[in-house]
Amino acid sequence: MTSCVKNEKSGITVIAAPNSLFFLLALLLLLPSLVLADRITAQTSVAGFFDSNIEHLAVWDALTMGKRSGFFIRNEGAFDYVFGDNDAFSTAFSLSSDTGLNVPEKSRLNSFFEIGWHGEPRDDLSLDLALQAHHTAENYLHMRNMFLDLLVTGDLFWDFSDDDAFYSTVKASYFTGFDEDLRYMTGPTIGAEFGYFYYPTARTDYLKVGAGFDGAFFRPERWTSCSVTLSVKNASIKPYLLFEGKYDLKPVFLKGTLRYAYMEWLEEDRFIITDIKDWSKKRKEHTPSLSTQILWDINDYISLSLNYTYRYIFSNFSRNNGAYVDYTMDRHTVMLEFSAHYEGETK
């Protein structure tokens, strides 16, 4: 597009970096939690991974960058403090960074904070409630504050026999987009998942089947550039199915997941070139995916894992049918991760 580009997206204009708030909150909580907590869990990890088709959250990035692959180094640290036994409160804080070696503009920094409660009203029933905050920034060359996500979740787990269990998860959140190209990412989301666990041998081995849906109700976007007008809608629903299994060959664990998702946007996008084109369509996508993990517990504190994920998006948006961008893509991610963890009593 030419210099006539005008971004007509509506949204807030906050530029401050919420990451500083997470650091401050962590400092305020770490020392008191260490004194008061009954149990503490700490984990750190270093990983290298390759992403064959880096995800673009901003439409403008998809239009201007296109397909990008990259090699990344991931560093992550997390603390989890538990207060009490069966009915326990907890606080958790984590930081992770993905540093793009050949694509520094796609490097990301994630901050996460959680206050949670775990209860066991019966021996066969457990309930978890959590309030979470998650912030993401991108591009280490020129820091780009992307979004803040405030999330409430509830998880129910019912062991109705020695070999079988039922689980359910419900969640609701509110996103606030900060960056100029991500202000559309402002609005509520909802989701739910229900499923069944089968334990064929021991509780470390399982087969799992689940179904769920996610809904996002973000703001629309609009660009104009001389004779071109583009309107993008961002409210969507996504039902999905998943199958998962884990097998314990101590000290090695094998895990695999199959997942299928269908995603449909609630309104039509529109792409207009004056006197040449007036194209409109509701976006729809089918996404099968496969992920596998081989994890080796070297000892009680150190582990090494190899992870692979493949995802293919079948989209009805392509340049061949007149769309403004091609969303059909396949994506391979391969990661080798080294982790160290500690869990123990503090009293």
Q: Tens-of-pLDDT digits for all 347 residues of the chain?
A: 334 544 544 333 333 344 445 555 555 555 555 556 677 888 899 999 999 998 888 787 777 777 788 888 888 877 777 776 667 888 888 888 999 888 888 899 898 888 899 998 888 999 999 999 999 998 877 888 899 999 999 999 999 888 999 999 999 999 999 988 889 999 999 999 999 999 988 777 999 999 999 999 999 998 888 788 889 999 999 999 999 999 998 899 999 999 999 999 999 999 888 878 888 899 999 999 999 999 999 998 999 999 999 999 999 998 777 788 888 989 999 999 999 988 877 66
Residue 1 covered by a domain? no
Nearest to 153 by CA among 167, 171, 168: 171
Identify the domain containing residue 102 by its residue range.
6-341
Residue 26 covered by a domain? yes
Q: How many domains does the chain have?
A: 1
Residue 198 covered by a domain? yes
Provide the CA 170 distance to its chain's centre, in angstroms.
16
User: pLDDT at position 233, please?
Assistant: 93
> Distance (Å, rounded) from C-alpha 325 to C-alpha 66?
9
Residue 346 covered by a domain? no
Task: Check which CATH number belongs to the domain holding 240 and give it.
Answer: 2.40.160.40
Residue 279 CB neighbour total at 10 angstroms: 15
> Distance (Å, rounded) from C-alpha 33 to C-alpha 84?
12
Q: Peptide bond preceding 121: is omega within 30 degrees of 0, i.e. cis?
A: no
Residue 42 covered by a domain? yes
> Distance (Å, rounded) from C-alpha 136 to C-alpha 259?
25
For every residue of 277-328, DSSP letters joined together read EEEEEEEEEEEEEEEEEEEEE-SSSEEEEEEEEEEEEEES--GGGT-SS---
Residue with tokens 């190209």: 181
Residue 180: φ, ψ to 5°: -50, -40
User: pLDDT at position 346, please?
Assistant: 67
Residue 322 covered by a domain? yes
Residue 332 covered by a domain? yes
Q: 3-state DSSP helix/strand/coil percent for the chain, to nearest 5? A: 10, 65, 25
User: pLDDT at position 37, please?
Assistant: 65
Residue 347 covered by a domain? no
User: pLDDT at position 150, please?
Assistant: 95
